[in-house]
Each structure stands twice: as C-alpha cells, then as structure tokens.
Amino acid sequence: MKFCSITIRIKPLLFPFLFLFLPLLIQAQPLIQSSTFSPYSRFGVGTMEPSGYAAIAAMGGSYTAYQNDTLIPLFINSGNPASYSTNRLTTMEFGMHGSNTNFISDSGNVKRHTASFNYLSLAFPIRKNMGAAFGLQPFSSVGYNTTSYTNVDSVGQVKNSYQGTGGINQVFLGFAIRPFEKCWQKFYSQKFKALRDSGYHRTIKRNRFFRRALSSLSLGTNLSFLYGTMDYYSYVYFPYSYGNVFNTEQYTETVVHDIYYQGGAQMAFDIDSIGHYNLKNNLKIILGYSISLPKSLNAISQTTAYNFSSQSNNVIQPFDTFAYRSSTKGSIYIPLMQSVGLGFKSGDKVTVLFDGGYQQWSKFLGFGGDNQHMRDLYKASVGIQYLPSRAAIGDWSYLKRINYRIGARYNTGNIVLNGKSLSDYAFSAGLGLPAGGGRFRLFAMANLSAEYGIMGTSQNDLVQAKYFKFTIGLTFNDRWFIKSKYD
C-alpha cells in the first residue's frame, strides 16, 4: 500500500514564459529604479539598495537566516538564494518604496521626498527539495543636487553645482537545492529500527540530530544581469561679468552591463528539549550565509566639457566644447560582500533573527581606477516577528493572525570624508496583514514596513540625513506547477 504523495513538475509553458518575462523586466528600468537624494550617492556606484523586501525591511533587514518553513504565507528572500528550496507554493511579490528625508548642514536644512515602484519577483518549487526564483530589483541608486561657493580674488564668488541621476538595476534568476535531504529518510528507514532494538538510544538521538541537520542544508545561487546608466553633471558659474566666457559644464555618462554572482547556504535543526526539560514548542535554530562575489563590471563611459553662457531665463547656451572623450570601454570593480545569520524560531509564534556582514569597499575601483574615499563596511541587525495564532477563529481572530515585526540595524558606512565616518543606524517596525486564502485557494498578504534612521553627520562641513522610509509589499501564493498524484 502506497501513501498519498505530491509530485511537483514544471510545465513546459514555464520556459517560454521566462524568456518573455525577462525582457519585459529589463524594459521596466524607469519604473522599477529606486531614487535617492543623498549627496553621498555620488561616490562608488551610488547608494546601495537593501537586500530584502517589505517583510525583511521591517525586521531591520535581517535576511541571511530567514527561510520559508511554513506552508503559508510564503515570501521571497532574494538576499539569500538558499531560501528558494523551501518554497512549497508559487509565490509572487512586488512592492513600492518611499522616503521622506531631512538633510541637515551648517548652511541649513533641505527636505526631499521620493516614491517609486521598487521590486517584482516570482518564486516557485521545482521538486520537493528544489526551488527557483526570478525578478527585478534595484542594485544601487544615484540622485543628488548640491551647491558650494568659492571666493576667488579679483573675480568674486564662484558657484559650483553638482548633480547626478540614474543607477543600476538587476534582473536575477536564482536556484536552490537541498542535496542531502534523502540522507535523513534513508537513515530513519534503514538504521533507526536496528539502533532501537540494540538499545543505543543516545546514539539514535545523536545520529538523528546530525542527519536531520545535514538533510536541511540548502545551497543556492543568483545569476544576475546588472544594467543601468549613471549620469554626472558638474557646473561652474562665474559672476555675470565673467560668466559669458568662463562658465563651464562637464557631463559624464557611465553605462554598466554585466553578469553578477551571488550565493548562499542555510541549515536548520530542531531542539525539543534542553537538559531535563521538554520544550512546549520545538525550538528551531537556523544558520545562514550569503556571499556576493567580487566582480569587475563592464562599463562604457563618455565625457563632454564645454563653456556656456547663462541667459536671464536660466537657459544654458553652449558655445565652445573644449574637451570630449568618446565612448570608452572600462570597468568598475565591485568588492566582496558577505553576511552570516542566526535565527531562532519557537513554533509558528516567535522568530528572532541576527545578521552580521562585511563588505570590502576599500578594494572598490571606479571607472578611472579611483577608490573615491571608500572603506570597508561592517554591519549588524536584529529582527523579531510575532504571530499570536496562525489558525485563530472567532472574535478578534484577525488581529491574532497578523504578523507583528520590529527590528534595528547599524553599519559603519563605506565612506570617509573630512576625517568623519558616515555611519548609518535605523529602527524599523511593520505588519503582515493576511488577506483571504485557504486550501486550494490563493493566499495573499500585505506587508507594511516603516523605518526611521540617521546617516552621516553635520560636523566638518558634511551633511546629515534623518530619514523616514516606508515599503508596501504584496505577496500572493498559489498552487502553480503542482500536480497531485494518489496511489
């Protein structure tokens, strides 16, 4: 007699769907690209975007040890591709991002607001121990507009203006597998009975623990295509009597397009007792590791510089090009980035996540081979999720089925200017609001997150940013590509 089993297959239509969908993602760059107004986005490749969607953002960005270990609701953790192997339903997720930032300096305060469609991805199971995902999300953002003044002898006050726009997006295709999952099943069926009959109970527990931990090991990778354009402008305005001759503009356009690699691993094991005490709910411990390999990205840069006269209506009239560099091939070196994570989960109610990371930005090289005042970055974060009751019914049941999340994060920053490190820290909170669902039906969840943080300092002629960020994400789970077979 055979037990009921579920066989998961990928339909042949999936592959044409992938090839049709990926070009649409690439064309969606203006829609997806996240924006920033930080003056520090002129360094490196811009402000690096976080590796996590709305649910992860609410928990301080702790993603390395975060995995799908319940049937519903599922989510997509693109920061650690090893999590894809635990998806048992097809999951689609997309989100919007916005911010309200107050830039503080010795010369005054400036407020900026931004909002944009931020990410879109789809994850699905391939087999019981395999999963895959693909989607589009921002990699970095450039967006600044700053002004400074210099007094020049016999000339007067000279105005310098710097502007930048654009950024880099990534289209990713990921895959994950638990290669040793059958080890536990084989041990349980072949050796458990023999060990039990021989009376080696401690040996049984010890072997069972390590076999189950090994069988849970998941290995994953993301293959990403990075693409985007970063535009940099610098203007020099002389006083009116000199402006018609000496005003200058320099414009540089840098286009990036290359392949980028990310990898990850996760392992989980259960503890049902500590010492002589049996736990009411099994305690699950999850270990995670994520790495982004260093890469010299192919880039093409073009620079133009010319004199201009400024009309009374602020219209720039070019009249003399004094420097021009046609499209030149080069590279931008993105350094090694890695993180480790530790997670604890008590039943379905409480999840606690810890993350630590290291990014080797001291090795960064821009298009011209300049390090641009970059230094190594260290980061840490913590996140907590609480779910009162996944299956609550009756009065006030909806409030008990909401996921409540809080978190905090800190990083040392990867830029040093005027002898100051530009560190960044933030506190976050959010909700996961379930919407409908049930057996054989679509299950949806709205994930809301809010974050308040402070980046940089206003000392030493620098700019400090106090920001409030919000993310709204929608997650849908359904039984695509799943065929049930009963014997």
pLDDT tens string 326-340: 889 999 999 999 999
Q: DSSP string covering 413-472, please?
A: -SBEETTEE--EEEEEEEEEEEES-BTTB-EEEEEEEEEEEEES-SSTT--EEEEEEEEE
Residue 116's pLDDT is 84
Residue 279's pLDDT is 62
Residues in a beta bridge with 364: none
Residue 37's pLDDT is 87
**Separation CA 466–CA 58 (nearest Å):** 18
Indicate the pTM of the whole model: 0.84
- Walk along the chain (487 residues) in steps of 10 and give the mean pLDDT of each run: 36 46 50 70 91 92 89 82 91 92 89 88 90 94 89 85 93 94 58 52 59 86 95 89 79 95 93 61 89 96 88 72 89 96 90 96 91 93 92 79 95 91 94 72 85 93 93 86 52
Q: What is the DSSP-derived secondary structure letter of residue 53? A: -
- Contact partners, residue 186, CB within 8 Å, separation at least 6: none
**Separation CA 448–CA 172 (nearest Å):** 24
Could you tell me if 454 and 424 are in contact, meaning their C-beta atoms sit under 8 angstroms apart?
yes
Q: DSSP string covering 300-321, please?
A: EEEEEEEEEEE-TTS-EEEEEE
> Residue holding tokens 């623990």?
209
Residue 14's pLDDT is 47
**Separation CA 36–CA 169 (nearest Å):** 14
**Separation CA 84–CA 88 (nearest Å):** 9
For residue range 213-251, list pLDDT tens digits in order. 788 899 999 999 999 999 999 999 888 766 667 889 999
**Separation CA 402–CA 386 (nearest Å):** 8
Q: DSSP string covering 167-236, please?
A: EEEEEEEEEEE-TTHHHHHHHHHHTHHHHHHHT-HHHHHHHHHHHHHHHT-EEEEEEEEEEEEEEEEEEE
- Residue 151, exposed/middle/buried by CB under 10 A (0-12, 13-18, 19+)? exposed
**Separation CA 301–CA 306 (nearest Å):** 17
Q: Quick one: which H or E segment has residue 143? A: strand 130-152
| Average pLDDT across the chain, whole number | 83
Residue 183's pLDDT is 60
Could you tell me if 238 and 247 are in contact, meaning their C-beta atoms sit under 8 angstroms apart?
yes
**Separation CA 263–CA 463 (nearest Å):** 35
Residue 108's pLDDT is 83
Name the residue type at position 277: Y
Residue 136's pLDDT is 94
Could you confirm whether domain 32-178+216-485 is CATH 2.40.160.60? yes
Residue 271's pLDDT is 78
**Separation CA 363–CA 377 (nearest Å):** 11
